[in-house]
Amino acid sequence: MSEIHTPQRVAVIGGGLAGSEAAWALAHRDIEVTLFEMKPERFSPAHTESGLAELVCSNSLRSDDTTTAVGQLKREMESAGSLIMDAARKTRVPAGKALAVDRHAFSAAVTSALEAHPRIGLRRQEIRSLTDPALSGFDAVVVAAGPLASETLAADLVQRIGGEDLYFYDAIAPIVNTDSVDMDVAFWASRYNPEEKDYLNCPMDEATYYRFRQALLDGDKVPAREFEKSVHFEGCLPVETLAERGELALAYGPLKPVGLEDPRTGKQAFAVVQLRPENAAKTMCNLVGFQTKLTYPEQKRVFRMIPGLEQAEFVRMGSIHRNTFVNAPRVLLPHLELRDMPGVYLAGQITGVEGYVESAASGFWLGKFLGGRLHGEAVDLPPVETAMGALLGHLSTPNKHFQPMNVNFGLMPPLGVRAKKARRKELYAERADRAWQHWLEGQTTEEQA
């Protein structure tokens, strides 16, 4: 790989959230970008459509409340011109306090923007290794192939960085046709806000709940491959794995009934399964928190035990796939360049961030950093008081058992003041916003110099 001196060309491998964001940020710094995407030539086990930025797990980008860490991260990205956040705002669907999108419209918006940019060339081609002839002549290479990087590319990367092969399993929730739900049982409401019709709710009485939990425990699951151990990310546990943790684990987790009143009885049910609309027309809904390892036949059998879903038509079944990530503190520099391979950078979930927004954020940061570096500018890491800086800090903090992480206020330095829990969140967000604006102003000044 040539030493970087002048702004020329960057190869970005992978057209997911991180790759799309990195390509966009680089192109806006007048860098010529070639974006390699293996679809539709080849699909991962979880992808089914040819568009870029395909959302395979959920259509939710989680909380939009700026007093949450992920809400603050969204605000930071938006203030600096994030492509992913712009597309999400344009394609959002009602989801209470969450930012959810019509995933098809979202992918189309991102794809159209990237295809139309004069400094981005989209090549539908699989990159099988970092020595692939297609990468010749680039000043830098960004590997944003996602947690489902092709086995050949992942194997090549592991061979080059050495160390342990880190991975975890991520399961996908099923989607049903809304008109197949029994509306004599299910009802539209948002938790604590019954007047908001953002979620479709299926209430369970106590006996039904326990029968359903037992069915989850007894149902046939897709086994892990013989040479792999199933290691699940705590924030995305398969529903049957959560059921194994105790009789009421589901009732206190994704099936918690708090804030939802069954209009048939005027009372709170023992448990409630929530379905979130997939599009603005609410023609499809996904089962919130129902990531699963159950086989397809078992999914139909067990999930149709849910009141209101007895005749459910499944648009997409849940599935399970392997997510690959590196030991970032050991193999990456703080700005996401491989320690042993100058000029090669990683972005997205393969770095050890977890979540749609976090993946996009890492690509966003890398695009800004690399764009500045190629122009001979020094781009400082965002302060750890910001959501972006805290997330990047997680990737550079040594940890004996490094694991993927969502952004959270616990990654930031302590406030140094005593305050009630709700106020602490506000203080973290207010401090983060001030720090981000100060950092952003400094970067803008540098770019204009």
Which CATH number do you get for residue 356?
Answer: 3.50.50.60
Q: Is 260 annotated as a binding residue?
A: no
Query: Are the C-beta atoms of 212 and 199 separated by less than 8 Å?
Result: no
35 and 160 share one domain: yes
Q: Does the N-terminal peptide bond of residue 40 adopt cis geometry, omega within 30 degrees of 0?
A: yes
47 and 87 share one domain: yes
Residue where one domain finishes, among candidates 307, 322, 337: 322
108 and 73 share one domain: yes
Can you tell me the distance from the alpha carbon of 380 to that of 389, in angstroms, rounded to the nearest whole number? 10
Q: Is 355 annotated as a binding residue?
A: no
351 and 391 share one domain: yes
Question: What average pLDDT does the segment 62-79 reach?
Answer: 95
pLDDT in tens, 273-291: 999 998 888 888 999 999 8
Q: Is 16 annotated as a binding residue?
A: yes
Can you tell me the distance from the alpha carbon of 100 to that of 190, in angstroms, rounded to the nearest whole number? 14
Residue where one domain finishes, among candidates 290, 322, 354: 322
238 CB contacts (<8 Å, ≥6 apart)? 169, 171, 232, 291, 292, 293, 320
Domain that holds residue 246: 171-322
Model pLDDT, residue 225:
58
Tokens for 99? 């930012």
- Residue 280 DSSP code: T
- Residue 338 DSSP code: B
Binned at pLDDT 50, 70 and 90, residue 5 comes out as very low
First vs last C-alpha separation in the chain: 29
263 and 358 share one domain: no
16 and 160 share one domain: yes
Can you tell me the distance from the alpha carbon of 352 to that of 327, in angstroms, rounded to the nearest whole number? 7
Q: Domain total for the chain?
A: 2
Question: What average pLDDT does the segment 128-141 reach?
Answer: 94
- At 406, the amino acid letter reads N
392 and 274 share one domain: no
158 and 252 share one domain: no
218 and 352 share one domain: no
Which range among 44-48, 338-342, 403-407 shows the weakest confidence by mean pLDDT? 44-48
User: Which neighbouring-strand residues pair with 223?
Assistant: none
Q: Is 17 annotated as a binding residue?
A: yes
Model pLDDT, residue 143:
96
Q: Is 145 annotated as a binding residue?
A: no
Query: Are the C-beta atoms of 370 and 10 separated by less than 8 Å?
Result: yes
Can you tell me the distance from the alpha carbon of 158 to that of 343, in angstroms, rounded to the nearest whole number? 17
Can you tell me the distance from the alpha carbon of 341 to that of 28, in angstroms, rounded to the nearest whole number? 26
Can you tell me the distance from the alpha carbon of 140 to that of 151, in angstroms, rounded to the nearest whole number? 22
179 and 283 share one domain: yes
Which of the two residues, 424 and 365, has the higher pLDDT score? 365
Indicate whether 429 belongs to any domain.
Answer: yes
> Model-level pTM?
0.80
Q: Is 19 annotated as a binding residue?
A: yes
Greatest Cα pair distance in the chain: 70
Can you tell me the distance from the alpha carbon of 407 to that of 69, in angstroms, rounded to the nearest whole number? 6
92 and 189 share one domain: no
Which range among 246-260, 272-286, 354-368 shows the weakest confidence by mean pLDDT? 272-286
Query: Are the C-beta atoms of 298 and 220 separated by less than 8 Å?
Result: yes
